[in-house]
């Protein structure tokens, strides 16, 4: 089969290191011929990304700084991306943030500031990114974000992030309606637990992974490659009839009672 994303330019946001889900996605998009633009926040992430690109032989079209909790940074990043690429065909939003203290104990103790921070970085950021990206998505395309089952159900310790992911999934639906008329599809992948930097912040993460091995239909956890391929599918024409969807890549765990 010919490459599914040949001639497409896709922006990948959220590579912090080799374990990042965004890096699994980037590799999958690269295999299908996409040209990649990366955004990062911390200088440390830029250093890691630069090394990963060199060792993997993936050539980035552009690497640009973007703090999604700052509107001017999002606008500046997409202005640069647009100036460089002209047209973009896809965006991968693979980022989230909450205070570690809010990812343990009881949700009822969440502070106003902790709630605001999680919503702002993890849910509103998709809205800001979609608004800026749309200006350059003149040929249509796809936007895909990463969510988690804690949006739908109470998962121990996930707390404030579960509520942020619920807002993120609702945002996917509202954005899908707004952007559908421009041929832009907006979807989410709901991944099972994967050991990453962000996952380290969630208390009791090992227990969650063990529960999947015991209870999920596939009796194993998923990896970055599997999430990468599903995200690639949602950015490719193979999924051209799908928008506003949350696709679970979790060994089927979400169907279990
Ligand atoms: P990583 O820690 O590897 O990636 C998180 C990324 O978020 C980092 O690149 C970080 O950049 C970025 N980020 C956080 N805040 C901001 C901000 N204000 N501006 C720009 N970038 C920001 O973890 P994952 O790969 O696990 O996380 C990616 C996504 O996948 C998240 O949405 C997460 O909730 C979701 N997910 C993860 C699961 C898991 O088990 N790991 C399961 C289901 C969903 P920097 O470090 O440079 O600040």
pLDDT number for residue 201: 87
Rounded to two decimals, the pTM is 0.98
Distance CA(34)–CA(61), nearest Å, equals 10
CA–centroid distance, residue 181 to ligand 1 (Å): 29
CA–centroid distance, residue 72 to ligand 1 (Å): 20
CA–centroid distance, residue 170 to ligand 1 (Å): 19
17-42: pLDDT as tens digits: 999 999 999 999 999 999 999 999 99
Question: CB-based contacts of 7: which residues, under 8 Å, 6+ apart?
Answer: 33
Secondary structure (DSSP) of 26-67:
HHHHHHTT-EEEEEESSHHHHHHHHHHHHHHTPPEEEEEE--
Return the best residue to mutate from 94, 153, 159 for the ligand 1 pocket (most ligand atoms within 8 A of CB): 94
Return the best residue to mutate from 95, 102, 144, 147 for the ligand 1 pocket (most ligand atoms within 8 A of CB): 95
Query: Where does the pLDDT of residue 53 fall: very low under 50, low under 70, confident under 90, or very high at 90 and above?
Result: very high
118-158: pLDDT as tens digits: 999 999 999 999 999 999 999 999 999 999 999 999 999 99
Residue 66: CB atoms within 10 A of its CB come to: 24
Ligand 1 atom closest to the Cα of residue 69 is 18
Nearest CA to ligand 1 atom 19: 67
Distance CA(24)–CA(49), nearest Å, equals 12
**What are phi and psi for residue 10, nearest 5 degrees?**
-130, 135
CA–centroid distance, residue 88 to ligand 1 (Å): 22
Enumerate the active-site residues: 148, 158
Does ipTM surpass 0.95 in this model?
Answer: yes
197-255: pLDDT as tens digits: 999 888 889 999 999 999 999 999 999 999 999 999 999 999 999 999 999 999 999 99
Distance CA(23)–CA(242), nearest Å, equals 24
Ligand 1 cavity residues, CB under 6 Å: 14-16, 19-22, 40-42, 45, 66-69, 94-97, 121, 146-148, 191, 193-194, 196-199
Q: How far is CA 189 from CA 66, 82, 107, 154, in A?
A: 22, 26, 24, 18
């Amino acid at each position: 089969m010919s490459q599914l994303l040949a001639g497409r330019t896709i922006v990948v946001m959220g590579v912090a290191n080799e374990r990042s889900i965004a890096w699994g996605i980037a590799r999958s998009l690269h295999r299908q011929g996409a040209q990649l633009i990366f955004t990062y926040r911390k200088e440390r992430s830029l250093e890691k990304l630069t090394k990963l690109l060199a060792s993997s032989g993936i050539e980035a079209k552009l690497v640009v700084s973007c703090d999604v909790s700052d509107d001017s940074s999002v606008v500046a990043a997409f202005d640069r991306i647009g100036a460089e690429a002209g047209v973009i065909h896809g965006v991968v939003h693979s980022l989230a943030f909450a205070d570690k203290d809010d990812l343990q104990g009881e949700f009822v103790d969440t502070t106003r500031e902790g709630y605001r921070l999680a919503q702002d970085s993890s849910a509103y950021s998709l809205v800001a990114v979609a608004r800026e990206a749309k200006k350059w998505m003149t040929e249509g395309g796809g936007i895909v974000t990463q969510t988690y089952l804690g949006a739908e159900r109470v998962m121990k310790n996930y707390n404030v992030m579960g509520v942020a992911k619920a807002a993120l999934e609702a945002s996917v639906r509202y954005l899908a309606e707004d952007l559908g008329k421009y041929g832009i599809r907006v979807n989410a992948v709901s991944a099972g637990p994967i050991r990453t930097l962000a996952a380290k912040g969630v208390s009791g993460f090992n227990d969650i992974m063990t529960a999947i091995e015991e209870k999920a239909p596939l009796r194993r956890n998923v990896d970055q490659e599997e999430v990468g391929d599903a995200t690639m599918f949602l950015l490719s024409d193979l999924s051209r009839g799908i928008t506003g969807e949350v696709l679970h890549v979790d060994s089927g765990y979400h169907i279990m009672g």
